[in-house]
Amino acid sequence: MKTALFQSFEVSSDGEETPYRLSIAQAELNKNKLSGYIVPRSDVHQGEYVAACDERLSWLTGFTGSAGICLFGKDKAGVFVDGRYSIQAKTQIKPPFEVIQWNNKNIVQWIKKNIVKGAIGFDPWLHSHNEIVALTEAFANSYLSFTPSDNLIDKVWVNRPAKISNKVMNYPVKLAGLSAKDKCHKIAEIIKFKKASSAVITLPDSIAWLLNLRGSDVIHNPILHAFLIIHSEGHIQLFCNNDNLYSKIRSLKSFVKVFSLESFEVALAELKGPVLVDEATVPFAAVTILKNNDSKPILGEDPIILSKACKNSVELTNARICHNRDAIHMCEFLSWVDRQNKNEFDEIDVVIQLENIRRKDKNLKEISFDTIAASGPNAALPHYRVNYSSNRIIKTGDVLLVDSGGQYLDGTTDITRTIAIGIQSEEVKSAFTRVLKGLIAISNLKFPFGTSGRDIDAFARAPLWQFGQDYAHGTGHGVGHYLSVHEGPHRISKFSNVEFKEGMIVSNEPGFYKEGKFGIRIENLILVQHSKVEPNNSFLEFETLTFVPIDRRLISLSLLDNKERDWINNYHTQCWQRAKDHVTAPTKAWLKTMTRPLQNIKSAEF
């Protein structure tokens, strides 16, 4: 049986068991005097990626996506998912669960229709303060209330995996750019500016960045499970149950004290004065504890998150080096794909080969997420993950979509390429070219200070909109520095009002998906930097970090204007110049072909 080191191909959901699991969870409602219960995807840290012991939504419903929420009453159950997972949810979730498009309006309507009155329970550590306040306000004048309760899923989940704390490492200043002490001083000044005496930090990647620590408590994410309180004087209380931690923070002991996770609630109750919390991610339980004692919560933003997102010069230097190496690995991989005999390799082969190529890099610590290797109709699932049951032979005429990344000591990468396996139809080539036009539009943008993701998202979609096409995911997400591949607070999305700042890294990944047929996505990482277009330096632009050829065989030349052709030719020239002296002979030959000027393309070339 084929296996990979960093990725499992086991079927992780068990849809046949979910009706029974729902029934025993519903039986707990009467025992706890509840009319309904909420089961989120998130853990106590509100993370997108969670440990096996926190996969409550998957255990209950069979849905394995990274975002979703379930509400169930005594005889009804609804699972809410966003557009990325609408097709996947239909296949994974079985009756009596109902699959519904996730937005606040639909959740409120479903509750009004299916629960009507009584108390809806929730685990106060698994929901943010904002989330519960919004639900409470929506039902302020009704017979429904939202009540903190025991976790009903944990009560009935037999053989629930244990929580595991793994190795911790110090992240060297030569890669981080700043010492932990310097970072703590900087954040303490922000806390003072916010007129707070302390701040409660619950996001693991914020804690990892602040203390220059990296862990492995969650697959593909170099974070450790912890909470932290930083005081305005700069000293820190760190709450973590990891025996490996103590030896790693000896150099920090002058200002960092370590406590058990169990003592976090006591520490919260002992805080005095104004306490800054991130209202979007802090657990509802934490704010309740603060309010019930002598402290005053200041509902704001994690004071670390913006400093972490705006990479310093050392981080950016290393990120560029890291992306150049990863581009070479991707060229070797794409060359390998083109040399395969069609109909004789499959999606799992693709995952394993790409992993094996990246593993030759001494700086690779992990992959940054499960590699998406999706062919034919599987590519229409934006977040498809191959397993032994879904694995598909890659056939002549397919489109192969590969979305992958590496966790390197000197950076985190994320790249998507869509590959032609043989001659493609005009429908596929036209869709691909419109997606490419959107990527180019974002890459070329120059925009004033104060611009946010919602201001530019439409530039990527406009070429698709002209033909009544679109995609049901954001155009881009922030990326960490040897941290989470999905990093806030910035993104390219119609929902984001976070202003872009110099040093932010964000993905640029428009797409198009035709259910049951094919899927297309092209993704580069780009860096926000000052633009020279305006004399007063009040404009920003993007620097491209990813230089890997875009499949010329999928481009419909008639849909491109001259500036777009020039952009692609210049981009491919850089791909050639950066990689040609670092790849094997077969890959160099492939690279030369794939980076030739577009005007030399023949329509029948494949």
pLDDT for residue 604 is more than 70: no
Q: What is the CATH number of the domain that holds 179?
A: 3.40.350.10
Residues 368 and 427 in one domain: yes
Q: What is the CATH number of the domain that holds 345?
A: 3.90.230.10
Answer whether residue 63 is part of any domain: yes
* C-alpha 51, offset from chain centre: 15
End-to-end CA distance of the chain: 32
Of the pLDDT bands very low, low, confident and very high (cuts 50, 70, 90), residue 601 is very low
pLDDT of residue 62: 95
496-507 pLDDT tens trace: 999 999 999 999
Q: What is the mean pLDDT of residues 282-299?
A: 96
Answer whether residue 244 is part of any domain: yes
* C-alpha 136, offset from chain centre: 28
Question: Could you give the number of structural domains in the chain?
Answer: 3
Integer-rounded Cα Rg, in Å, for the chain is 25
Residues 354 and 427 in one domain: yes
pLDDT for residue 523 is more than 90: yes
Of the pLDDT bands very low, low, confident and very high (cuts 50, 70, 90), residue 48 is confident
Residue span of the structural domain in which 211 resides: 169-308
pLDDT for residue 603 is more than 50: no
Nearest one of 492, 495, 502 to 539, comparing CA atoms: 502
541-591 pLDDT tens trace: 999 999 999 999 999 999 999 999 999 999 999 999 999 999 999 999 999
Residues 318 and 446 in one domain: yes
Residues 144 and 68 in one domain: yes
Distance CA 519, CA 527 (A): 26
Distance CA 573, CA 564 (A): 14
Q: What share of the chain has pLDDT > 90, as a percent? A: 90
Residues 475 and 343 in one domain: yes
Residues 374 and 297 in one domain: no
Residues 390 and 493 in one domain: yes
Residues 279 and 333 in one domain: no
Mean per-residue pLDDT over the chain, rounded: 95
Distance CA 477, CA 509 (A): 9
Domain termination site, one of 130, 155, 180: 155
* Overall residue count recorded for the chain in this entry: 606
Q: Is 201 exposed, middle or buried (0-12, 13-18, 19+ CB in 10 A)?
A: buried
Residues 302 and 188 in one domain: yes
Answer whether residue 161 is part of any domain: no
Q: State both tokens at 403.
A: 């979305």
Of the pLDDT bands very low, low, confident and very high (cuts 50, 70, 90), residue 87 is confident
Of the pLDDT bands very low, low, confident and very high (cuts 50, 70, 90), residue 164 is confident
Residues 268 and 193 in one domain: yes
Q: Are 502 and 528 in contact (CB under 8 A)?
A: yes
pLDDT of residue 342: 81
pLDDT for residue 534 is more than 80: no
Domain termination site, one of 103, 131, 155: 155
pLDDT for residue 605 is more than 70: no
Domain termination site, one of 256, 289, 308: 308
Of the pLDDT bands very low, low, confident and very high (cuts 50, 70, 90), residue 533 is confident
